[in-house]
Amino acid sequence: MSSAPSSSSSLAADHNEHTLEHDERSLTILYATETGNAQDVADRLARLCRGLRIRARVHSMDAYPPTELINEHLVIFVVSTTGSGHEPRAMTPLWNMLLRADLPEDLFEDLTFAVFGLGDSAYEKFCWPAKLLSRRLVKLGASELCARGEGDDQHHLGVDGALGPWMKQLSAVLIHIFPLPDGITPESPDGLPPPRVTISDAPAGAQLTRKDPLVTDREYHTATVTCNKRITAEDWHQDVRHFEFSFQDDIRYSPGDVAVIHPEAIPADVESFLSTIGYANIADDPINVTHTLEDQSLPDHLPSTTTLREVFTRYLDINAVPRRSFFAFLQHFAQDELEREKLEEFLSDEGADEMYEYCQRPRRTIREVLEEFRSAKVPRDYIFDLFPPLRPRQFSIASSVKEHPRSIHLCIAIVQYRTMLKIPRRGVCTSWMARLKPRDQLQIGVQKGFIALPPDRSTPVICIGPGTGVAPMRAVIQERIREGIYENTLYFGCRSASKDHHYGDEWRKYAVEKKLVYRAAFSRDGPEGVARTYVQALIREDAKRIWELVGERGAWVYISGSANKMPAAVRAAIQYALVSVGKMSEEDAKEYVVNMEKEGRLIEECWS
């Protein structure tokens, strides 16, 4: 899916004269990602540019100084969507800069840009950050290079359903702007590109003397496990854990901030994979990794000296569902003719549905694919091109540092499910964390979240956090109670009061002490045939009180949890209170809630 079409040639002609004033054949690619998809797209765009003899400078937005944008002339933005329409955290500093009210309308009159968004059309705010970015840049004087692209997870080809056509459109525009010299033709996109690294043998024991980049990163702190306790009933289908970590460092964080954790793959999975791919005998030999293609990204905190076992344990994800780019590389390494033909078929337009049925629909992993395409011989220089990075995971912190100094609490659901092939699946990070024992150590970073507390201590807060969405709500409530502020309301939802009532005793204690108004919805505890009760139903029941808090006293509202139907239903319930008790019109009530979000009085911390 793309935004409204426009003529590539006319757009190119409009910008050709301006851009050619800068004779360097270069541009900048800025990406913001949560799961790695936008980073993969950025890498593919950089390869496209290299094929057109254009040098691409590729940066994650959180590693790019926002003020540098004024010095750019041609930028391609790749932006994913998080939660129910928010920008990724990596984009927030740049976005906040662009939203400043004092920016002149001609600030970016020398900037030409293109945007590719990634999202899911099942959500109302599909590709919302990409749309807003395009509009804001145009409003600040920038010119759009080509129509915005919008990759949709709902497409049977996923992001590739829109990315392929958009890259062809972008390529045509770039060739107009940067004509190839006579006798030079673009590189074939179907050929095998050079690897992004060179791997060479290192002296024996070399990796033992090097420092771990994650340990030396000042943004991370050494954490010691003090608690790993299941808080759902033993006979309940979902395993939710309460974790506590202690620190020697005097760490600082605020309610709503997130803990960043780098997981490791299960040793048995790594051993099996190394055997499958033919690396078992060299897995523990020290190697040097040299980054040779600067326009292609590498995993965070990758040491220059390591081993293949460490790489596939800590830095590359062998349990991911492979993207199309994986198969595009794999076809070059398959030795068996039938296997190579099958891979070529997957990559054809006609075979796209078959690849979806083989890979995406059953959630087949990279390990499982390579167990079937056994003839593939992957040169070790290409491992960072073929396999995606094992990305750190982010978890909302479930504690207040004022209540628990030098400590972080987390509330985490251990991911376990079965695929349509009846194969059990485990989340890489959560299954690794589930095995942590007291006194185990790991590195944890802290990232700023979206939540802010009211500056006026007398302002009431309403927290809505069903399931593990209660984690940041616990941080908010602990912090306010610690500061002697008791105007707190919590709406919690789960299936059963006796099975998955996270921190129920804590909430009841606060309620008895008059420090919290606690309302809980147990959706499966009602009698058979009676409509299930969810948090939004309780908010509707409490319409009079909601109006008094929100409409009359200016309460702040926090919504946390799964970004499915819940956030929209909660907003509708608040609007119901504004209409039924506050006597607003439907239109005014909807606008009031929208303005609450603009003013920072309604904050979502949701995930998809």
* Tens digit of each residue's pLDDT (9 = 90 or more) over 134-144: 999 999 999 99
Asked which of 20-29, 38-47, 176-185, 438-447 is least confident by mean pLDDT, the reply is: 20-29
Q: How confident is the model at residue 21 (pLDDT cuts 50, 70, 90)?
A: very low
The candidate with the shortest Cα–Cα distance to 491, out of 377, 147, 511, 96, is 511
Q: In the chain, what's the furthest Cα-to-Cα distance? A: 81
Question: What pLDDT, on a 0 to 100 scale, did the predictor assign at position 528?
Answer: 85
Distance of alpha carbon 18 from alpha carbon 143, whole angstroms: 11
Distance of alpha carbon 223 from alpha carbon 395, whole angstroms: 15
Question: What pLDDT, on a 0 to 100 scale, did the predictor assign at position 188?
Answer: 82
Question: What pLDDT, on a 0 to 100 scale, did the predictor assign at position 426?
Answer: 87
Both structure tokens of 440:
């185990």
Distance of alpha carbon 278 from alpha carbon 598, whole angstroms: 55
The candidate with the shortest Cα–Cα distance to 79, out of 136, 25, 26, 24, is 136
| Centroid of chain to Cα 165 | 24
Distance of alpha carbon 357 from alpha carbon 351, whole angstroms: 10
Both structure tokens of 591:
């606008």
Q: Could you report the per-residue pLDDT of 375-411, keeping only the tens digit for each?
A: 999 999 999 999 999 999 999 999 999 999 999 999 9
- Torsion angle (degrees, nearest 10) of CA 392, 397, 403, 408: -30
Residue in the structure block whose two tokens are 């759009």: 144
What are the DSSP E strand ranges found in 217-357? Answer: 220-230, 240-247, 258-261, 286-291, 305-307
Q: Could you report the per-residue pLDDT of 346-360, keeping only the tens digit for each?
A: 998 888 889 989 998
Asked if 225 and 436 touch (Cβ cutoff 8 Å), the reply is yes
Distance of alpha carbon 113 from alpha carbon 130, whole angstroms: 12
Inform me whether the pLDDT recorded for 15 exceeds 70. no
Inform me whether the pLDDT recorded for 304 exceeds 80. yes
Q: What is the pTM of this model?
A: 0.90
The candidate with the shortest Cα–Cα distance to 263, out of 373, 389, 376, 156, is 389
